[in-house]
C-alpha cells in the first residue's frame, strides 16, 4: 500500500521547493495549496465563498484573493469558514489522485496547514521544513509582493515551528537549499526510497 509522507512548514519555509526536489526522485507529489487555488476557480466553490463572504471580495465576478486574504488573516473565525469551504474539496480531490498512484511505494502530500486541517492523521511519516522567522518574512515579501504586517498575520494564523516539529518524524532546516537537499537525501535513505 502506498505510504503518505506529509510535508509541511510555515509560509516561506521552502516546502514547495523541497516537494519538487522529492519529485525529482520519481516520488509523486500532491501540493495541497496549489490544488486549493485551482479549486477556488470552480463555480461551486466561488458560489460558497460569495455566500459566506459577500460580493465585496469579488470584482467584475472575479474573486479578489487579496481582499479575501486580508479578511481571513485578520479574523481567525473567517479563516475557519474559508477552510471549511476549501478543505473538503481538496480532500476529495486528493483521495481521487492517490488512487492513481497505487503503484508508488510513497507519495508526498505537501500542505502548509497539515496539522491544522487534521490531515496529519492520514500520514505515515511527517517532515517539517523550518527556516528562521526573518528569512521566511523576507522570502514571502519578495515572492508575493506583500507587506510585513500581512505576512506576520499569515504566519501567526499557522502553527509554530515548535508545534509542528513536536509532531513530526523528520525536520529539514532550510537555511540554504544545498543543506536542505542534503537533509532531504538523508530522510530518503532512512525511508529506503533511494
The predicted pLDDT at position 146 comes to 81
**Of 128, 115, 117, 108, nearest to 3 (Cα)?**
108
**Residue set of the binding site:** 12-17
Q: Which pLDDT score, from 0 to 100, does residue 151 have?
A: 86
The CATH T-level fold of domain 3-190 is: Rossmann fold (3.40.50)
The pLDDT, as a whole number, for residue 149 is 86
Q: What are phi and psi of 184, to 5 degrees?
A: -60, -40
What does the pLDDT read at residue 120? 95
Would you list which residues are annotated within the binding site for ATP?
12-17
- Regions of the chain with pLDDT less than 50: none
Supply the pTM of this predicted model: 0.89
The 10s digit of each residue's pLDDT in 58-107 is: 998 889 988 898 898 888 889 889 999 999 999 999 999 999 998 999 99
> What are the backbone dihedrals phi and psi of residue 85, each rounded to the nearest 5 degrees, phi first?
-80, -45
Q: What is the pLDDT of residue 194?
A: 52
Lay out the sheet containing 29-31: strands in order across: 29-31, 106-110, 3-8, 125-130, 170-173
Amino acid at each position: 500500500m502506498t505510504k503518505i509522507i506529509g510535508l509541511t512548514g510555515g509560509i516561506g519555509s521552502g516546502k514547495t521547493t523541497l516537494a519538487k526536489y522529492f519529485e525529482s526522485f520519481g516520488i509523486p507529489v500532491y501540493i495541497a495549496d496549489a490544488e486549493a487555488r485551482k479549486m477556488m476557480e470552480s463555480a461551486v466553490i466561488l458560489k460558497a465563498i460569495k455566500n459566506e463572504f459577500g460580493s465585496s471580495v469579488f470584482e467584475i465576478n472575479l474573486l479578489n484573493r487579496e481582499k479575501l486574504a486580508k479578511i481571513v488573516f485578520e479574523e481567525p473565525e473567517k479563516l475557519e469558514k474559508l477552510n471549511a469551504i476549501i478543505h473538503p474539496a481538496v480532500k476529495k480531490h486528493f483521495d481521487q489522485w492517490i488512487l492513481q498512484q497505487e503503484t508508488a511505494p510513497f507519495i508526498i502530500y505537501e500542505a502548509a496547514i497539515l496539522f491544522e486541517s487534521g490531515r496529519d492523521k492520514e500520514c505515515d511519516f511527517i517532515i517539517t521544513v523550518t527556516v528562521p522567522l526573518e528569512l521566511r518574512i523576507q522570502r514571502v515579501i519578495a515572492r508575493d509582493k506583500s507587506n510585513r504586517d500581512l505576512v506576520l498575520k499569515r504566519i501567526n494564523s499557522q502553527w509554530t515551528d515548535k508545534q509542528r516539529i513536536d509532531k513530526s518524524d523528520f525536520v529539514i532546516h532550510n537555511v540554504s537549499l544545498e543543506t536542505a537537499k542534503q537533509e532531504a537525501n538523508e530522510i530518503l535513505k532512512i525511508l529506503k526510497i533511494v
